[in-house]
Structure formats: structure tokens, C-alpha cells
């Protein structure tokens, strides 16, 4: 199957391209390189540099390539920035996706896999969070993702666009072969931040040490990017045989605390990880973990590489042996 991977030069998208090729599919990449890196891609993969909302470019790609399915990895994902600049998030994460979907329909491409987020749930009302949990996003990033989910459901009903939404909890780790990983200049996620602080001998902040958890620090559900990519392959298989719209959580139902991350990085690196307590951040829940039972039952997916040591060790190996 020929698959258009939008944001295919990024953290998860580039690994997706590798695993699509491994599985016998043909990835085609569209990326504006604002956060991605062309060096993450094999030279044989067709690459188009440009904006996902550029309808002339999209028309050209659909005319030249026989695209059968589209995967989307091109969202802006910084929660804090979304609060300060909601216009950027609604433009990139909603308006441009709408143009992409309309271009797909104009070219009779009716299979779509969308990267969503646990941020659509907001503050958890119960744990583990399943797909029936109310969606009440508390920031523009989460709201922008939820808007696209609603659009996809409406487009399936009105236009027969078949789609699967995958709600990641906390994407983490690097490819097991060490070829690709988190490469953004400004780190946004906890594990890369801690690793960079170790490298530069800086102190990491722990936001809140008085949460109702075993060690007093926040707990999150971390899912290895190899498992996220595997879920996309399962979703692709499902869409090749089934029609409709569906949503699946991607998580482990287990959590890793901030203190556990600090301790694991110290253990794996053999170095002291300096940390200091800081006030809680507004809007942070103390614990957030996912139920992925639905993905197991329907897609036949389960995480295989999301044990805590594999996540931290693969991220560590990538950070200190980056190829780009």
C-alpha cells in the first residue's frame, strides 16, 4: 500500500516510514521540516517539502502518487505555547487538517489515521482512562485535537471517509536500532529534558512533590514510539478490511513517576541527576494512565517495548549517539 505520511520527517513519522517499508508498504513523505529532519529518512522515500495545508501541493502529490491511505503526524504539540498562541494551533492543527481531508476526498482517498492525544480528556475523572471517558480538554492543544476527531466522525457519516484516531498518552523512547529519535532543538518532553540536563550538567525541575502518589511526584503513562508505530500498522490493516470511524487509546495502563524517571536515568547513565522541587503547574493531574483494552480487543495490539528500562535506555542511547 502507498501511504502518504504527513510529518514523516519528524520524531514518530520518520520511524513510521521505516516500519512501513519493513512491512512492504511504500511511504511518501510530506513535511515542512519545521521540526523534522530529512536526514531521518531513507534516500529512496519520495519526499515533498511543504505545508500540509497547501492544496496545490497536495493536488500535485495525489496526482503523481497513487496514495491509498494518509497518516497524520504534523501537529503542533506544545501545551504552553498553545495557551499563548491559540491561533497557531487552530490554524495548523484544525484548519490545515481540514484542507488535507478535503484534498483527500477530491482525489478519492478515503482512509486516514490520525495522531491524537490524551489531552482531549482533560482532568481524569477515573483511572485508567478508557475511550468512554468524557472529553473535556483544558488547553487549546487538546481542544484542537478533539475538534479534528469530531470532524472525522462527521466526514465518515457525510462522505464515507474511513478513519482511525489513535490517542497517545506520552510518546517516549527512541528506535531500538538507534537510527531515529527525539531531535528537536528545544526539548519539550520530560525524558529528553532530563537527558539534556544530564549532558549539560544542569538541574532538572520536578513540578510538585506532594501529589497523592507513592513518591509524591506526578505519574504518567509512557508508550514507546516503536509500540506507537506498531499500532499504526495494526490500524492500517484494520482500515484495509473495514469501513467506518473509531478511536483507540495507546498506553500501558501503568505509570512512571517523575522521580522514577530521574532515578532510572541516573542508574542507566551512571551519573548523578540533579533535581530540585518546584511548584505544581496549573492543570497538571497527579496521575494519568490509559486503558488500551479496546486496541487489544479490536486491533490485536499490545505494547511490547514500553517497559520502563527499554524506554529510558533507548532514549539515552539516542541522545548521546545522535545521528542528526
Question: Which residues have a catalytic role annotated?
Answer: 141
Which residues, in sequence order, are bridge partners of residue 138? none
131 Cβ contact list (under 8 Å, min separation 6): 167, 247, 248, 249, 294
Length of the chain, in residues? 324
Q: What are phi and psi of 204, to 5 degrees?
A: -90, 140
Q: What are phi and psi of 246, to 5 degrees?
A: -155, 160
Q: Which of 12, 9, 6, 8 is nearest to 174 (CA)?
A: 12
- What is the distance of C-alpha 23 from the center of its chain? 20
**Rounded CA gap, 279 and 165, in Å?**
34
Strands 256-257 and 219-220: antiparallel
DSSP 8-class letter at 184: -
DSSP 8-class letter at 280: P
**Rounded CA gap, 160 and 158, in Å?**
6
Give the CB-side neighbour count of residue 23, counting CA atoms within 13 A: 18
Amino acid at each position: 500500500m502507498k501511504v502518504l505520511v504527513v510529518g514523516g520527517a519528524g520524531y514518530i513519522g520518520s520511524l513510521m516510514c521505516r516500519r512501513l517499508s519493513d512491512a512492504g508498504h511504500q511511504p511518501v513523505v510530506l513535511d515542512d521540516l519545521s521540526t523534522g529532519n530529512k536526514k531521518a529518512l531513507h534516500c529512496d522515500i519520495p519526499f515533498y517539502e511543504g505545508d500540509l495545508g497547501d492544496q496545490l501541493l497536495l493536488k500535485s502529490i495525489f496526482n503523481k502518487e497513487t496514495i491509498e491511505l494518509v497518516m497524520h503526524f504534523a501537529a503542533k504539540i506544545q501545551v504552553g505555547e498553545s495557551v499563548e498562541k491559540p491561533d497557531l494551533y487552530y490554524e495548523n492543527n484544525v484548519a490545515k487538517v481540514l484542507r488535507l481531508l478535503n484534498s483527500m476526498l477530491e482525489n478519492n482517498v478515503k482512509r486516514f489515521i490520525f495522531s491524537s492525544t490524551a489531552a482531549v480528556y482533560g482532568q481524569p475523572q477515573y483511572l485508567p482512562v478508557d475511550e468512554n471517558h468524557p472529553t473535556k480538554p483544558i488547553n487549546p492543544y487538546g481542544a484542537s485535537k478533539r475538534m479534528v476527531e469530531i470532524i472525522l466522525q462527521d466526514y465518515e457519516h457525510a462522505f464515507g471517509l474511513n478513519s482511525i484516531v489513535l490517542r497517545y498518552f506520552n510518546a517516549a523512547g527512541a528506535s531500538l536500532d538507534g537510527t531515529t529519535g527525539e531531535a528537536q532543538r528545544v526539548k519539550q518532553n520530560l525524558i529528553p529534558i532530563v537527558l539534556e540536563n544530564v549532558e549539560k550538567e544542569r538541574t532538572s525541575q520536578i513540578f510538585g512533590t506532594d501529589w497523592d502518589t507513592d513518591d509524591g511526584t506526578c505519574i504518567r503513562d509512557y508508550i514507546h514510539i516503536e509500540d506507537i508505530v506498531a499500532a499504526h500498522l495494526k490500524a492500517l490493516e484494520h482500515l484495509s478490511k473495514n469501513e467506518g470511524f473509531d478511536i483507540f487509546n495507546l498506553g500501558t495502563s501503568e505509570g512512571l513517576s517523575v522521580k522514577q524517571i530521574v532515578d532510572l536515568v541516573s542508574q542507566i547513565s551512571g551519573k548523578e541527576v540533579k533535581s530540585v522541587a518546584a511548584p505544581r503547574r496549573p492543570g497538571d493531574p497527579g496521575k494519568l494512565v490509559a486503558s488500551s483494552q479496546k486496541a487489544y480487543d479490536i486491533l490485536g495490539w499490545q505494547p511490547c517495548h514500553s517497559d520502563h528500562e527499554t524506554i529510558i535506555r533507548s532514549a539515552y542511547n539516542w541522545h548521546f549517539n545522535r545521528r542528526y
